[in-house]
Structure 1
């Protein structure tokens, strides 16, 4: 038994020596440290935990009382992908990190993997006489040719170059956990009309209200302080709502992620915009789906700093900084005598604060959001966004004009496509405006 262990250890060492140049080319000292640490533990027959890896391989990255470390999981995922890629490209012994275990293991190459009939055919060929071998060779060539044609047809039919579009290519190569953030809206309750009730409240029980000037329960407290006469008539019911367009976009996003090669390994979490934290923005890749009115400030602030577009206070239009062009949705000011005819979908990709990626699929109105949900997986439309080095590295934005008939989208036309200016977004806070949570001069924007 000891001799077998030593043999396995020698094979691990040889396989590790073969793959180490590829790790060095990756240019990540952390990955090299992790690889060397796991190699030593695996040769010794040990399988360390996340906490051990964080404290022993990456000194100072383990938190007291914290049983998990996202940095360890991210690096394990990246190392697992690199080992798999090298195993496909090389011959001989391969190394792999088994799912659910943190150790290096020999993974023998199997050239007949996926073709279970090939091994049996080879065995029969070796035991056959010369005449039978000629027949076997003919059958093997014919079967192999048919199999090749079938596989080629399947690849051409099913594999779309989604990961090759400028929107998804850098995101697909990231290897980080993914957080899908969807826009949601805070609602408070107005009590029955009467003493202490706010002006405009109707009878028949509490009425849920969405007011853009009161986006959180903290703002409701400020609203009550600034409007003491109405304070007793407004109550926090801890209610949030999500639009139908947001749900539809999330469904389309789920199908789109399943088409990306990296999605089978990704750790994907779904959170509301009101639940997004700075830690998520730092540690994970972010995908936002929703309207601008539901975008959290953690995403809206850096996006608008990188963009040359400005968002109107009513959140229904985007304008060029010099005022030369305005993109305004008419889906927020409809009456019984009008139907919506125009909205805008906005797509953006930009680097995050820690080298991660942020994608945004946004609508000015509900029609624009529905269109953004369709665009996120539309290869033909996304290929219109020309891929350049600046866009891949610094990010870009695109605006689509959406033509609608009421609740039905007719078509979308790309009208703006350009890089973002993200050079100092995360390092320069800029001038901080005076904090005014409630604007007494703002128009009535309740829904």
Structure 2
């Protein structure tokens, strides 16, 4: 039927169905057709009705069929939201709490709501993912509240001293975007219907990594799913909070603490226009990875391993270990450099969380920072590697083992 004699709803659902049909999921297409068909009814279908339509009569015997329906609806909602992301005008949505597809003029959950996409994705997650995701969602909300609503720190002379010691004579102006390292979360299922748990895999940091992993492990193709969720460790968020109180421009009453955001939220515009301070694990650098290691004396060989390019020395951190009662070793990394657009890029990181915390603690030790600057002969761009000793119940001990001026 030509578009000019179709209703706007029919025309839009037909266009999106063509896009959906190019995908690999017959069940997703069947769900879309069912929801479109039932959207004209006064009553939206119940989960058991959808389960029977998708899985057959056996769904009545499956206690997990309802959660399976929620998973499929979530994926379809995300597919629709991704299709309309950044587009203006009428769009299809699946309203919260309903199993129907409607046409609206604007997306009520889109950018106009003021929520970043990573938080909007959390808000659409269903209860089938369990209490663990609820805690993560609460942490994400707390993270957002802190970054947007936390009061401005009082201006003290020490703030300027910290920046001056770290950055040298070129410390002004400096209004950084504070970026927290986060990791990609994956949903794991064994029955292809319900989610058993959410996992973090150090090998999978981006969607490209996920695609590569699926090719190398085809048996996980229907076991692991990307719901567009990322997780930032509490230690990294807490460290970013400490950094926020140390590095902001001393501009009288107009001083503003640096904005805080997850590294997964960076885009090209922010990368080109912002001074950036990264806080987190080296394996979580995301889009900053190339800028950091293209001119570095070190190479990140794995999430827990750095290699000195010149000497070939391997620095292996004990990031994940079952026995946390013994003395462990990790490595922290600090660098101050300029991006391709001339903006400052400061990295306060570690192979593990403890080493990252030890590097951030340098900001409270101007004497040690001044000594580091002497090691690099006052260079404005430099990098340093620290060995960090971790003892349960004792302060972290850090030792400078390498320092280089960089170009």
Q: Show the counterpart of 2:244.
A: 254
Q: Quick one: which of 186, 205, 215 aligns to 2:205?
A: 215
For the pair 1:233 / 2:231, whether they are aligned, the reply is no
Q: Quick one: which of 380, 384, 394 aligns to 2:367?
A: 380
Contact 1:252 / 1:377 at 8 angstroms: preserved in 2? Answer: no
CA 1:219/1:164 → structure 2, altered by over 3 Å: closer, same or farther? closer
Contact 1:179 / 1:284 at 8 angstroms: preserved in 2? Answer: yes
Indicate the SS of the match to 1:215: coil
CA 1:172/1:212 → structure 2, altered by over 3 Å: closer, same or farther? same
Indicate the SS of the match to 2:371: coil
Distance across 2 between alignment mates of 1:251 and 1:156: 17
Q: Show the counterpart of 1:328.
A: 316
Q: Quick one: which of 260, 270, 276 aligns to 2:266?
A: 276
CA 1:340/1:210 → structure 2, altered by over 3 Å: closer, same or farther? farther
| Alpha-carbon offset, residue 308 of structure 1 | 1.3
Q: Which runs of 5+ in 2 are unaligned?
A: 1-154
| Alpha-carbon offset, residue 226 of structure 1 | 5.9
For the pair 1:401 / 2:390, whether they are aligned, the reply is no
- The alignment of Structure 1 onto Structure 2 pairs a total of residues equal to 252
Q: Quick one: which of 289, 297, 303 aligns to 1:308?
A: 297
For the pair 1:417 / 2:403, whether they are aligned, the reply is yes
| Alpha-carbon offset, residue 292 of structure 1 | 0.6
Contact 1:345 / 1:362 at 8 angstroms: preserved in 2? Answer: yes
Distance across 1 between alignment mates of 2:211 and 2:405: 40
Distance across 1 between alignment mates of 2:176 and 2:378: 21
Q: Which runs of 5+ in 1 are unaligned?
A: 1-154, 198-203, 423-447
For the pair 1:299 / 2:297, whether they are aligned, the reply is no
Contact 1:346 / 1:399 at 8 angstroms: preserved in 2? Answer: yes
| Alpha-carbon offset, residue 267 of structure 1 | 7.1
Q: Show the counterpart of 1:287.
A: 277
Indicate the SS of the match to 1:236: strand
Distance across 2 between alignment mates of 1:339 and 1:243: 22
Distance across 2 between alignment mates of 1:157 and 1:275: 32
Indicate the SS of the match to 1:376: helix
CA 1:281/1:303 → structure 2, altered by over 3 Å: closer, same or farther? same
| Alpha-carbon offset, residue 396 of structure 1 | 0.2
Contact 1:331 / 1:340 at 8 angstroms: preserved in 2? Answer: no
Contact 1:186 / 1:239 at 8 angstroms: preserved in 2? Answer: yes
Distance across 1 between alignment mates of 2:180 and 2:316: 22
Q: Quick one: which of 336, 340, 360 aligns to 1:349?
A: 336
Q: Which has the larger radius of gyration?
A: 1
CA 1:325/1:256 → structure 2, altered by over 3 Å: closer, same or farther? same
Distance across 2 between alignment mates of 1:286 and 1:237: 27
Distance across 2 between alignment mates of 1:344 and 1:267: 28
Contact 1:253 / 1:377 at 8 angstroms: preserved in 2? Answer: no
Distance across 1 between alignment mates of 2:300 and 2:232: 21
Q: Show the counterpart of 1:37.
A: none
| Alpha-carbon offset, residue 367 of structure 1 | 1.0
Q: Show the counterpart of 1:169.
A: 168
CA 1:241/1:356 → structure 2, altered by over 3 Å: closer, same or farther? same
CA 1:376/1:159 → structure 2, altered by over 3 Å: closer, same or farther? closer
Indicate the SS of the match to 1:406: coil
Contact 1:311 / 1:317 at 8 angstroms: preserved in 2? Answer: yes
Contact 1:349 / 1:359 at 8 angstroms: preserved in 2? Answer: yes
| Alpha-carbon offset, residue 191 of structure 1 | 0.8
Distance across 2 between alignment mates of 1:361 and 1:158: 19
Q: Show the counterpart of 1:47.
A: none
Calculate the TM-score normalised by the size of structure 1.
0.50
CA 1:323/1:174 → structure 2, altered by over 3 Å: closer, same or farther? same
| Alpha-carbon offset, residue 419 of structure 1 | 0.2
| Alpha-carbon offset, residue 344 of structure 1 | 1.6
